[in-house]
Structure 1
Amino acid sequence: MLLRLVNQGADGIRHTVISLQDEGAYGAAMKAAGITVHCLRMRRGLPLPPALWRLVALLRREHPDILQTWLYHADLMGLIAGRLVGVPRIIWSIRCSSMEMASYRRSSGLVRWVLAKLSPFPDLVLANSHAGIADHRTLGYRPRAWGYIPNGFDLKEWRPDPAAKERLRARLGLPSDHLLVGLVARFDPQKDHQTFMTAAAEVAEERPDVAFLLVGRGVEPGRPPFSLARGKAPLAGRLHFMEESKDVPQLMPGLDLLALSSAWGEGFPNVIGEAMACAVPCVVTNVGDAAAIVGDTGLSVPVGDASGLARAMLNLLSLDEGARSRLGETARDRVSHHYSIQHVVDEYSRLYHHMIHLTDGKIPCAV
């Protein structure tokens, strides 16, 4: 979302991006778009003084009107450095909900605990999901103001493509009449690939004309839970894998259905909005705001309910092609009306301009 936001730009807003570590996956794209990117080269774990002082020096040099931080470690570093430098307005950003901190370093849990205590000090805590706000309230966050702006999607980049299905099936060596269910997610406990695999096996038992495509960093056929399932019925020959790919916007419209099996941690899952923008119906677990985003254009099931996920997939796969296409068109319309990138950029622009001139304490996106 940050890449989309800075790439789109807004009237009178100049973005400078500071990464706590290196350029990551998006630094080069930001630089190519003319965005200034600085890297603090901080090692993973607790924020360390050298990185903090580099951030202080950068802020003194850049002299920003607003410092918006993204994710927990940046929230902590940004608050300390921003207050030392005297940045006029500081915004924290929450992009998750119901995190299982046992799956991460202890330092991450400690940072989040500290942030709850410090939450009255930023000017605004901005979330991309209502679930994220509710979850962090239970964690003890008590900010001056909460804000909500959802993720946004470029409908020119993510769009239907009538030729995509035939092209993708040819690439995978599938018959042209086979249906294809996709899961686009990095390999991580949060994404709960095991639930998806169990559901896929149930679908495969009933529908021999359905195949499954898994795309994402670390999604390798030799890894459990894929290694055993791919070699025996009912999933033998039915599973297809792609490592992290830059051509997902071209792959997505080739799917008949997109599944999200995440168990926790999601706020606003980007992959749902991307699929819906491509007119691909979604079946999701009820994690974060996923069910609310999909609305009546897809189906949601409880977290961890593999049989429920399988039934939901079978329900949508049983629709004739015309009905499924109409459902996908409704999904794209929903993104256009509620989650287009231009709408979201306009929301950020209004927020930034208001906060720069803030005198009455009222935040336009506050909830």
Structure 2
Amino acid sequence: MKIVHIISGLGLGGAETLLLNLVSESRSAGGTHVIISLSSLDIMAERLRAAGAEVRLLGMRPGIPNPLLLIRLARWIVKANPDVVQTWMYHADIFGGVAALLARLMFRLRGQRHRFVLVWGIHRTEVPTAKVGRVLNALARIGAMTSNQLPDSVICCANASYKTHAEYGYDRSRMRVIHNGFDVRKFVPDATARATLLNSLGLPPRSILIGIVGRSNPAKDYDNFLRAAALLHQRVPECHFVMVGKDVDANNKALARMMSELGLTRVCHLLGARNDLHRIMPAFDMLCLSSRTEGLPTVVGEAMACSVPCVVTDVGDTGQLVGDTGLVVPPRDPVSLSDALEEMATLSLEQREKLGKLARERIVECFSITVCWQKYRDMYATLLRAKGVTR
């Protein structure tokens, strides 16, 4: 099966990580992948090439799309002659959808019958409002209006995403949910990781390491996390807060100011963006997700795969992901978040280890990348059979 993926950019993010994992997982099944980034952002490009994918950069700039680039995109689709065109997120859904229409026209003009299916991907929970971004809002509106015509199917990464987009006007009959999958071979427990991180931070063994992973962005709600951390620090002073993500570093003046105001400067450790999360995550005694919005958060699944119990806000399908292996609290409520972190921090080591073991078992059985790829593959095959194509 040959799949052309069209994605807004190849930065570091949950959708991009899922794409990389799907490419890697499908190699043994004979899947071939061409990945087209609409922009020039290529942070993940080499990792995708190493996984066996062909990667192309369209170089589209923000704003009104260049018609010539849309024609080039359509030609790339025709040249690839795929079984599936899979788009990722609003920009790619709409621009990729238009390019797919052009590609089908090009096939007809050549006297060739096209048989590829077009599948859109939705990877956020809330439909973006004009306040969040006018362009995103416009793309979502166009998506809702054309979802009964352009795509053969629309994949949502979470039940919450399905609900909000169906209510917004996306065609329910074409929508289905496939939860993100996690690499359980890369993200594994590591008994040595904790001591290594403690040593690198200069912390004593009795420290309790609470990790949070996510870029500096209002959606991740670091304000909520830091206010909860300040309350917890007063009650459990041995807690230390390890913060990882893009712009979560010493240059972030807003974070530094808030940490100082809350008296957290000495117990917060900002590591910035890292490409070795699989080595850092197993060191955490727990992971915290403080977000205001999520679909199915990658970092939570990866932490669970490392046997790290999680304390999370009840956003998107995060509660469904965690199940009874962690604690779930309302978003934007630092008191509830602090209480849950304290509850987890004051468990015995054996109790936390038991929760962590259950967390990994849950990911392996229900949310592994193997399970995820099987669902994508089966869906593609079903859509192709409907067009008279057998794969």
**Which category of TM-score, normalised to the shorter sequence, fits these structures?**
over 0.9
Amino acid at match of 1:48: N
348, 351, 358: which is aligned to 1:320?
A: 348
How many angstroms apart in 2 are the aligned matches of 1:101 and 1:217?
24
In structure 1, the residue matched to 2:179 is: 150
Q: What aligned pairs does 1:12-31 form with structure 2 within 5 A after superposition? A: 12-31=30-49
Amino acid at match of 1:93: G
Most deviating of 36-45 and 195-204: 36-45
Q: Contact between 2:256 and 2:265, CA under 8 Å: does it hold in 1?
A: no
In structure 1, the residue matched to 2:189 is: 160
In structure 1, the residue matched to 2:225 is: 196
| TM-score under structure 2 length normalisation | 0.88
- Residues 252-287 of structure 1: CA distance to partner in whole angstroms, max 9, x if unpaired? 0000110111112x1110001000000111111111
199, 206, 226: which is aligned to 1:177?
A: 206
1:215 matched to 2:232: no
Q: Contact between 1:217 and 1:244, CA under 8 Å: does it hold in 2?
A: yes
Q: Contact between 1:230 and 1:238, CA under 8 Å: does it hold in 2?
A: no
98, 113, 116: which is aligned to 1:80?
A: 98
Listed as ranges, the gaps of 5+ residues in structure 1 are 361-367
1:55 matched to 2:73: yes
In structure 1, the residue matched to 2:111 is: none
| Cα displacement (A) at 1:84 | 2.1
290, 297, 306: which is aligned to 2:318?
A: 290
Q: Contact between 1:183 and 1:213, CA under 8 Å: does it hold in 2?
A: yes
- Residues 54-87 of structure 1: CA distance to partner in whole angstroms, max 9, x if unpaired? 1111112111121110000100011111122225
| Cα displacement (A) at 1:320 | 0.3
- Residues 207-259 of structure 1: CA distance to partner in whole angstroms, max 9, x if unpaired? 11100011000112353542234336642310000111011100000001101
The total of aligned residue pairs comes to 360
296, 301, 304: which is aligned to 1:268?
A: 296
Q: Contact between 1:47 and 1:73, CA under 8 Å: does it hold in 2?
A: no
SS of 2:260's equivalent? coil
Most deviating of 30-39 and 4-13: 4-13
SS of 2:186's equivalent? coil
| Cα displacement (A) at 1:99 | 4.5
| Cα displacement (A) at 1:175 | 0.6
| Cα displacement (A) at 1:105 | 3.4
Q: Contact between 2:208 and 2:239, CA under 8 Å: does it hold in 1?
A: yes
Q: Contact between 1:184 and 1:271, CA under 8 Å: does it hold in 2?
A: yes
How many angstroms apart in 1 are the aligned matches of 2:282 and 2:131?
33
| Cα displacement (A) at 1:359 | 5.1
RMSD: 1.8
Q: Contact between 1:45 and 1:105, CA under 8 Å: does it hold in 2?
A: no
How many angstroms apart in 1 are the aligned matches of 2:241 and 2:55?
38
| TM-score under structure 1 length normalisation | 0.94
How many angstroms apart in 2 are the aligned matches of 1:62 and 1:359?
19
How many angstroms apart in 1 are the aligned matches of 2:228 and 2:128?
23
How many angstroms apart in 1 are the aligned matches of 2:239 and 2:128?
33
SS of 1:96's equivalent? coil
How many angstroms apart in 2 are the aligned matches of 1:356 and 1:250?
40
Listed as ranges, the gaps of 5+ residues in structure 2 are 1-17, 105-113
Amino acid at match of 1:80: V
1:136 matched to 2:165: yes
How many angstroms apart in 2 are the aligned matches of 1:34 and 1:303?
39
How many angstroms apart in 1 are the aligned matches of 2:68 and 2:205?
57
In structure 1, the residue matched to 2:83 is: 65
Question: Which structure would you say has the larger RCO, counting Cα contacts within 8 Å and 6 or more residues apart?
Answer: 1
Distance 1:4 1:103, change over 3 A: farther
| Cα displacement (A) at 1:53 | 1.2
- Residues 171-198 of structure 1: CA distance to partner in whole angstroms, max 9, x if unpaired? 1111111001011000111111100000
1:242 matched to 2:271: yes
Distance 1:46 1:190, change over 3 A: farther
Amino acid at match of 2:297: P
28, 53, 62: which is aligned to 1:35?
A: 53
How many angstroms apart in 1 are the aligned matches of 2:299 and 2:338?
19
Most deviating of 278-287 and 230-239: 230-239
Amino acid at match of 2:311: V
Most deviating of 141-150 and 118-127: 141-150
